[in-house]
Amino acid sequence: MDSQAESLATLTRQLTGGISAELEIADLDDYTNTPFDDQTRQIDHVLSGFDSDIEVAKERNAQKDLKINELREKKLREVQQTMHSDEKLSIEGIKPLTKSEENKILADCWQTFGRERQSNWHCLTKEGRNFLHHLAYQPWVRDSRPCPAWVVTAAVSERPDLMDATDLKGRTPLTAAIAENNVRFCLAVFTQKTGKLEELGKYLRRECTIRESSNISDSELTCLHAALTPRHFSNQNGSHRAKILLNLISMAPREMFTVTDSHGRTPLHLALEFDCSSLPSQVNIVKMLLQRGPEALSIAKKLDSGRRISVYQYHEESRKKAEYRYKERQNELKEQEDKQIEERFRAPQQRSNTQGNSQISVPGKEPEMPKTRETDISGGSKKADTLPDRSTRPPRGPDLNRPLANVSSRRDSGSKFETYSLPEALPKTTNEIPAYAKRRELEEKEHRERQAASDEILHHLRLLCLRTQDPDKASQFLKKLEGNDDKVLWFDFGPRKKMSEPEFKKVFDHLGFESVLQYVAFPQIDVKTIEESGHTEGRTEWIPDPVVIFFDWLRHKKRGVKKIIRVIVDDFEDHEASHNSHSDEGIEQALDGFNVEILDWARPDICPSSLLKFGQSLREINLYWSGRNPVLRAWSEAEGLCKLRNLERIKIIKVHGTQSSRRTEENLHSFKQRLEKSWSQAWPAGMHRLPIIEIDASLPAHLGHALAHRRGLQRGAVQPSPFNSHNINPHRWMECMKRFSEEFRQIVGKLSNMKRPVDSIIPGPVVVALIDDGTDKDHSDLSFNRPFRGTSFEQYQQGSRYRGVSPWWHSSSGHGTLMARLIAGICPSAVIHIIKLRTFAAQDSEKLQIDTKSAIEAIKYATELGAQIISMSWTVKPPEEDDTSFRNALHSALTDPQGISMFCAASDQGKFADRTFPHAGNQGSFRIGGATATGKTLDTVGDKDKLDFVFPGHEVVIDHWYEDVDRKTLDEFDAHSGSSVATALAAGLAALIIECVRLGVVHTNENPEKQNDPDIAVTANDLALIRKSQALKQAMLSIGTDMNTGHKYLEVWRLFEAKTTRLNEHRRNADFLGQMETIAGLARHFLKR
């Protein structure tokens, strides 16, 4: 053993020291003494010196291998001396050097080599390359005697500063190696120890800054961009490429992950290309990129249209394009496959026809001239008329063996008989045909693998987005680029109210959900008893814990919710409201299978055994503590929280308790100690890190949305109140439109229930975007089968760590609910899309104000939505800062090519100049003022001469539309009681006009005799025309106006009273065609036919 150790030491000294002088190729001294651009010699002395270093390394490497063999032979002789004479042993039987022994030899070798030769490695060749560059450009694969890889290790170890230098092509050594597909160089770099790799990563930072002023191509912008470019390493072993990529990602500086190329793509974007699904371990590469550089998740790519898309949308778009290319390729291969079969089928037939095989005469067709076919050089054939169409082609597969399938036909000139020739030999079976078929099957397999990788990547991006982004950003991040995506990412019940299960489903069944929800929030819900709800059929008993009902509703296959990131439930007992906390069993059943990650269930002393049943995915938990020490002990024992291995944060919130502060502190301190002990015992050797423990010894102001947000808004909520008419005569305007809309609603209802031909095309109903403070969807005037959709731009803050969205199906003041009821009352078939603004109470005032930024976002959203009408029954002061964004949003909406009409309320601040937005931001919108029952403009309306129309807006009363809303409620919305009501009625009337034209189109399409008469036919072009603001304004004026109001007050009874009477007669006579003709007549009136 001592002899072997001595031999190893001797060999090491020879390889690293003594041999060094013997293997010198030339006396280089300092090979930079002569400039490389010497015009007389034209010799690049730096390059020559680098080559000499490599030759020295090659010789030393060969000598090392020789000495290792000599050492093994020596070991053989030593072993043989101890053996009997009749025993034989070859050198192959000797145990080779251990890995550590070889590594020691190599380490001493390259360390000594590096120290001896490194002094001139910083010098530059004609191409501006240092020694590391020179190694990166080495043709390792083509060289019969390649440079040993340890030379790279030596150079990187001795001169890491060379890693950030760029040559004349702008490449660093690592980027050059990647671009030249130099796998050995890259692998050698990554053999450095972890600490050394991190140091090397610092030298790559220069790539993140020097690119701004350079002309580097996108594929070589940084080493990460280069490595993720498909053509680099495309022919290399998949495991090598994966190893290079993963190592490169682990060492790259954080700044590199957000560097964008000229197309706005980060390395993450390149990895997300669907075609890069061929990358080995693509899913792991994407995950590691996001782990090392999470900031890249928020970098949006700008499209040519100017729109910015998230990395999630980028991958979806990439997949869509790749799917299209794949289908095109599959069709091409299918055609080639069919053509190949046809060629193989035709070849024997042609040979039999020319060699005069036996013929069978069949009486039949007239003789025809034989046709020929051209053949190209490659042996394939051009498409000719002789090829049979698909209906006459022979079957593929086993059917090719059927004799008649291979019989060809021809005619002899002058014969009335068609002859059939039997070929010399039948074509081979499909075993010789599948060249294109096999290629198609292979591509299908690869495509399925790419799809599977893509699905996993999309799922990971979705989860990461929902975990880290605010709800509004998450919604934009995951939004479909095309079409209206009605699915929501969260569910918030809204404020506390009493509701039965059937009522709950009736209000919320219209919602569509994604399979993963960002959060679900419930307040204290008071469930009606069977007697209170009136739904007693089929029910024999009431479910003891109603919380299960609501989570089962989410779990149902119709909604398909599979996972919930965060759950927020207000579950404190409220004896005044007769609310009892939910049971442990109810909580377990409610959350089972949802893989909840963050739990904020505000019920004191939740049982740890319950947590273990549903909480294996929990990362964070808020535990509400009554102050009793036994509860702390249960949470901290061996069968408690320590069993939840994924926990990262625990927050203890003290909500009750009679103990002194000192005792409370002692109990909490002991809790921490016990949990640390039980955790270390459950997960030894640091398998799972101990979660962070936070203590809040007092009841916080934020106990979920229910306590922090909903209760705070109760002061402004609309409460049912007895109707008080104040002896006011109803508006004639309102009574007229109420009767007409009732008749119109029945027509629309019957039309939607009628069976029609499959190819029948019915234009979609008008879409009205109501921008307000939300709408109470459960209101009786809105609860019938009406299509409602919505979104919310009002967010709330819970503490400092979480933001939620106030649901659009809840109106903070009742104002938005009233506006929706008015629009729906005038036009019952309109699709009302609720867009909730952010509102806040003004200082020293209970009146609600509107956040300007949310108003801008709402207008943009309504434009992208494709709404035909935007109703904004509010005003805001001109933005104190730059109002360009507001003006641009208004301009984009009003110039939309599809046609958008915008109705804005006039300010009700008195006889002053009205400079309020949104109308002041663009004069193309309709400015609406309120009027009394006689049509007189309200005195509170400013700039009356600049109004487009005035509508009823003073003490307007409709028995069933808003009997539970009095004037006081309207006044609370920043003094818009008059004009805000008028604006909603104007928007409703405009929607009704468009709907009349739409039904006119339907009537024309279903009655062909009307389609050829231009004076009667109502066409799709007419529907597109009426959606334009100017055409809509003329249609409204055609109803009839009051001259005393400057032709601004529409006297609707002039047109609609007679039509209502006629519709009523047709309905009583069951004459649906007459009803539709009456509506079509209205459409022609609006179109001025």
* Catalytic center residues: 772, 815, 980
Strand, helix or coil at 340?
A: helix
- Residue matched to tokens 């029910």: 539
Helix spans in 204-266 (H): 223-227, 238-251
Looking only at the bridges linking them, the beta strands covering 563-570 and 512-513 are unpaired
Of 887, 894, 907, 751, the C-alpha closest to 829 is: 751
Cross-strand bridge partners of residue 397: none
Using alpha carbons only, give the angle 378, 384, 390 rounded to the nearest 5 degrees.
110
Q: Is 171 exposed, middle or buried (0-12, 13-18, 19+ CB in 10 A)?
A: buried
Dihedral of alpha carbons 662, 668, 671, 677, sign? negative
Rounded Cα–Cα distance for residues 461 and 615 (Å): 23
Using alpha carbons only, give the angle 416, 419, 421 rounded to the nearest 5 degrees.
170
Contact 879, 886 (CB under 8 A): yes
Helix spans in 594-708 (H): 608-614, 629-636, 661-682, 704-705
- Residue matched to tokens 């005697």: 145
Rounded Cα–Cα distance for residues 722 and 28 (Å): 105
Rounded Cα–Cα distance for residues 262 and 630 (Å): 62
Residue 988, CA distances (Å) to 770, 821, 981 in order: 11, 10, 11
CA–chain centroid gap for 454, Å, is 12
Of 92, 429, 475, 440, the C-alpha closest to 310 is: 475
- Residue matched to tokens 């039997």: 422
Rounded Cα–Cα distance for residues 584 and 548 (Å): 11
Rounded Cα–Cα distance for residues 951 and 929 (Å): 6
CA–chain centroid gap for 761, Å, is 32
Sequence length of the chain is 1089
Rounded Cα–Cα distance for residues 457 and 284 (Å): 9
- Tokens describing residue 137: 């450009």
> How many beta carbons lie within 10 A of that of residue 324, not counting itself?
10
Rounded Cα–Cα distance for residues 661 and 404 (Å): 99
Give the orientation angle of helix 471-478 with respect to helix 311-354, to 10 degrees: 10
- Tokens describing residue 744: 């119109």
Strand, helix or coil at 860?
A: helix
Number of separate helices (H) and strands (E) present in the chain: 34, 27
- Tokens describing residue 103: 């590594």
Q: Which residues neighbour 941 within 8 Å (Cβ) at sequence distance 6 or greater?
A: 906, 907, 908, 929, 930, 947, 950, 978, 979
Looking only at the bridges linking them, the beta strands covering 869-872 and 901-905 are parallel
- Residue matched to tokens 């309306």: 941
Strand, helix or coil at 838?
A: coil
DSSP-assigned states of every residue in 180-211? TT-HHHHHHHTTS-HHHHHHHHHHGGGGGTGG
> How many beta carbons lie within 10 A of that of residue 721, not counting itself?
12
Rounded Cα–Cα distance for residues 737 and 741 (Å): 6
CA–chain centroid gap for 825, Å, is 37
Q: Is 376 left (phi over 0), alpha (psi -120 to 50) or beta?
A: beta
